[in-house]
Amino acid sequence: MRSLLLTLLLALSATVLAGEIHRWTDSQGRVHYGDRPPGTAAAQPLELQPNVIESVRPAPAAAPGAEVVLYSTQRCGFCRKARAHFRARGIPFTEYDVETTERGARDFQRLGGRGVPIILIGDERMDGFSAPLFDRLYGRH
């Protein structure tokens, strides 16, 4: 029983880490969504927008190019997207891995982190990553 539960938990966590959703239509015209495409139908991978929370504090008066801090993990797909976005736009940032660095773990706990990425832009906080939202927040500074 214990090994069955462990196997089930590992299987579920693997699908969460994969993070890819597919859409396909079966032979009867019904649309399906799943983390694995069926072997019999052509499936299209979908890129879903993450659920992000924008800080409710008013934007502080800050100098252009406010400091950007990224709290991340190596397995996080949205962390990779944020990192690539910053690099592509030449935005300097400091990154702390919350699993492998003492500073990252300590700050993550202090911030009340529940998931990654957490992105600090000056005094504003963004949980999750959305390029348009980040650009809007960063543009305020």
Task: Look at residue 88 in the predicted model and tell me its pLDDT.
Answer: 93
| Residue from 90, 89, 70 nearest 80 by CA | 70
Please tell me the pTM assigned to this model: 0.57
Confidence at residue 15, expressed as pLDDT on a 0 to 100 scale: 45
Confidence (pLDDT) at 137: 92
DSSP H or E stretch at residue 127: strand 124-127
Q: How many residues does the chain have?
A: 141
Please tell me the distance from the alpha carbon of residue 138 to that of residue 7, in angstroms, as a whole number.
43
The model's pLDDT over 12-42, given as tens digits with 9 standing for 90+, comes to 554 444 467 767 787 787 877 777 777 766 7
State mean pLDDT over 73-98.
96
70 vs 85: CA distance, rounded Å: 12
- Residue 138 is encoded by which pair of tokens? 């960063």
What mean pLDDT comes out for the span 103-126?
A: 96
CATH 3.40.30.10 placement within the chain: 53-139
What distances in angstroms separate CA 85 from CA 12, 49, 52, 101, 136, one per listed residue?
Answer: 29, 15, 16, 23, 13
CATH number of 53-139: 3.40.30.10
Considering only residues 4 and 62, tell me which one the structure prediction assigns the higher pLDDT. Answer: 4
What local confidence, expressed as pLDDT, does residue 124 receive?
94
Q: What is the mean pLDDT of residues 108-132?
A: 96
Q: What is the pLDDT of residues 37-75, one digit of tens each?
A: 777 667 777 676 666 666 555 544 444 568 999 999 999
